[in-house]
Structure 1
Amino acid sequence: MSLKAQINDDVKQAMRSGEKERLKTLRMITAAIKQREIDERVELDDAQVLAVVEKMIKQRRESADQYREADRPELAEAEEAEIRILEPYLPEQLSEDELVEIVDKAIAEAGASEMSAMGQVMGLLKPRVQGRADMGEVSRLVRSRLAG
């Protein structure tokens, strides 16, 4: 079953069981997916749907951080509740050791030894770790490995 079909099934299930908050969040996902399909005039595949979900999670994390800084914990908690609803659609996250191993392989594959090769290394890594690791963390790790 595709990720998009799974989300649509979960919307129906949330409707049947009366889970209002979950239904609201799942409808936001389906709306974002449909909007992107309309904008790009394509049917999104699993990788593209995953990118939409990742973007939504990132937006909610940033919002939660801003709400905490503004001393609005109730709003931050609402954002974090939405993150918990979205996270099951991501693939299993990589451990720190697995991520280091993948980064080291990509650096070796690219023959990178200095920061000027960072873009090339990140280009190799993105399809390998997308959805399974925070790309900001991946970038920091690559930077530290290339810096020495």
Structure 2
Amino acid sequence: MSLSTQIDQDIKQAMLARDQVKLRGLRGIKSALLLLNTSGQEVNEAEELKLLQKLVKQRKESAEIYKNQGREDLAEVELEEVSVIELYLPKQLSREEIEVVVKKVIEATGANSKADMGKVMSAVNKELAGKAEGKTISEVVKQLLA
């Protein structure tokens, strides 16, 4: 079942359950998916995962800004949407699990300095697509290549 179909079904269920939090998050996903589908580029599962990760990142950044400005009410709304969107993402790996994958890639590519970071990041991002945030991956690679 495609992500769009799943989202449509979940929107109907949220409407019937009168779950406003879930409904708001699902409508955000549906809107972003429609924009992606009308952009003219080919949409596959990997693109959908990237989109969901982008939505989570945007909402977390917005929540942080709202907290810094003393708007806990708006930050809470953003974090509620994050929790809904994360339901459609694969389980995120822990930092230790990411380190294992990065070490394996470093050995396979023969990287030994920060100059090789791009090569390592490229390989790790392909392997961990949708399973870890790019920021965390970057931190681990920097730490291990230092």
With the length of structure 2 as denominator, give the TM-score of the two structures.
Answer: 0.93
Aligned-residue Cα RMSD (Å) equals 1.3
The match for 1:100 is: 99
CA contact (8 A) 1:4 1:49 kept: no
1:114 matches 2:113? yes
Q: Could you tell me how far 1:123 is from its partner in structure 2?
A: 0.5
Structure 1 residue runs of 5 or longer lacking an equivalent are: none
- Matches of residues 47-66 of structure 1 in structure 2 within 5 Å? 47-66=46-65
Quote the Cα distance in structure 2 between the aligned partners of 1:74 and 1:87. 20
Over the matched positions of the two proteins, sequence identity in percent amounts to: 37
* 2:39 is the counterpart of 1:39: yes
Q: Which runs of 4+ in 1 moved over 4 A?
A: none
- Does the 8 Å contact 1:54/1:131 carry over to 2? yes
Query: TM-score of the superposition, structure 1-length normalised?
Result: 0.92
Aligned counterpart, 1:68:
67
1:53-102 deviation per Cα after TM superposition (whole angstroms, max 9, x unaligned): 10000000101111111111111111111111111111012123221110
Number of the residue aligned with 2:25:
25
Tell me if the contact between 1:122 and 1:139 (Cα under 8 Å) persists in the aligned partners: yes
Structure 2: give runs of 5+ residues left out of the alignment: none
| Equivalent residues, number | 146
User: SS of the counterpart of 1:39?
Assistant: coil
